[in-house]
Amino acid sequence: MKKIQELAFRFAAIPAPSGFAAGRLDAIAEAAAPYAPEIRRTPGGSLLLHRPGTGRKIALCTHVDDPGFLATYREESGAMRVNPLGFDNLPAAYGAPVVSSKGVPGVLSAGNPKDLKAADLLLTPFGEAETGDAFVLASPAAVHGDKLVGAGIAAGLSAAILLDVLADMDMSADLTLVFTGHHMLGARDAAPAIELAAPDVAVTLSALPEGAVKCGKGAAVCHQSGYAVSDPALLAQLTEAADEVQHDFKGGAVSDLSAIQRVGAGVPAAAIGYAVQDPGTLIERADLRDAEKVAEMLKKFLLKG
């Protein structure tokens, strides 16, 4: 678990607003270099890590971007107006520290905090910021018991889980890991990556807002995700690979699952996940034990080729 935690902290520390996640993707590629003989990028920026094998071709997909804000206009005061980049929890933004993908810190405020609207948000940058710069909430990652806490921790943790699977891989499957960076905007940018990888089957990994799926209760299989239904046969294989599993029937509104299923003549795909508390806030939390269970499930699934 220590390796997963270290990688999650490393990735979460790199600002990755949706559409501006190149820095985090570069760090993932660097960490994966010893285990992935082939590293590619799609024209849209998605990262593909390929480890050849003699078994069936399997793709594991996750997004690594976080919701954020795009600076659109500078006021005479020096403060900047912002538009949300997949960010829909406006109360969590008020008074929050932020940092841009270029490393410029700042703080968010509002002219009318009582009835907060996106148009009310003002960003005061503490450094050279320009219109077109993208920002995310900023808080250092920390450990609280079995939980990892901090802005962006879920995206970092999902990437760490897949790299842990890649590093410990001792199986015949032909494996491609896909990391995307436009997910929070609703862009289904796993689709072109899957077209390049041309897998026999694909599995998407997401952090699920805690509800029916609970933190500390292990991995979850998603019967529905993003208005798409997981392939039943593939979902059964994933369920069988888990010591115990939670079941999610609701699914998130944003998912690459439906896009992957429509690539080419169609790719059988299923969704899995783990619970996250207070997503998109400074105190986003995920349980390290859940991450370990997800990694174990994927390793057992891959062992069957």
Is 134 within 8 Å of 184 (Cβ atoms)?
A: no
Q: Are residues 167 and 231 in the same domain?
A: yes
Q: Are residues 169 and 202 in the same domain?
A: yes
* Domain limits for position 88: 68-137
CATH of the domain at 124: 2.40.30.40
pLDDT at 1: 58
131 and 256 within one domain: no
Indicate the residue among 137, 152, 171 that finishes a domain.
137
Tell me: do 150 and 130 sit in the same domain. no
Nearest to 272 by CA among 208, 237, 222, 212: 222
Does residue 52 have a pLDDT over 90?
yes
User: Is the pTM above the cut of 0.85?
Assistant: yes
pLDDT recorded at residue 92: 83
Same domain flag for 165 and 281: yes
Q: Which residues of 223-232 are buried (b: 16+ CB within 10 A; e: fewer)?
A: bbbbebbbbe
Average pLDDT score over residue span 14-40:
96
Which of 110, 137, 164 is the last residue before a domain boundary?
A: 137
Q: Are residues 227 and 274 in the same domain?
A: yes
Same domain, 112 and 42: no
Q: Tell whether the torsion through CA atoms of 67, 98, 285 and 29 is positive or negative.
A: positive
| Domain identity same for 181 and 56 | yes
Q: In the predicted model, what is the mean pLDDT of residues 235-257? A: 87
CB-count burial class (<10 Å; 0-12, 13-18, 19+) for 30:
exposed
Structural domain count of the chain:
2
- Binning pLDDT at 50, 70 and 90, where does residue 119 land? low
Same domain membership, residue 237 and residue 108: no
Task: Among 137, 161, 178, give the residue marking a domain's end.
Answer: 137
Same domain, 43 and 53: yes
Question: Is there a single domain that holds both residue 20 and residue 33?
Answer: yes
Q: What is the CB neighbour count within 10 angstroms for residue 175? A: 27
CATH number (domain holding residue 175):
3.40.630.10
Element holding 166 (H helix, E strand): helix 153-167
pLDDT band (50, 70, 90) for residue 116: low
Do residues 285 and 194 both lie within one domain? yes
Nearest CA among 278, 261, 212, 229 for reference residue 61: 261
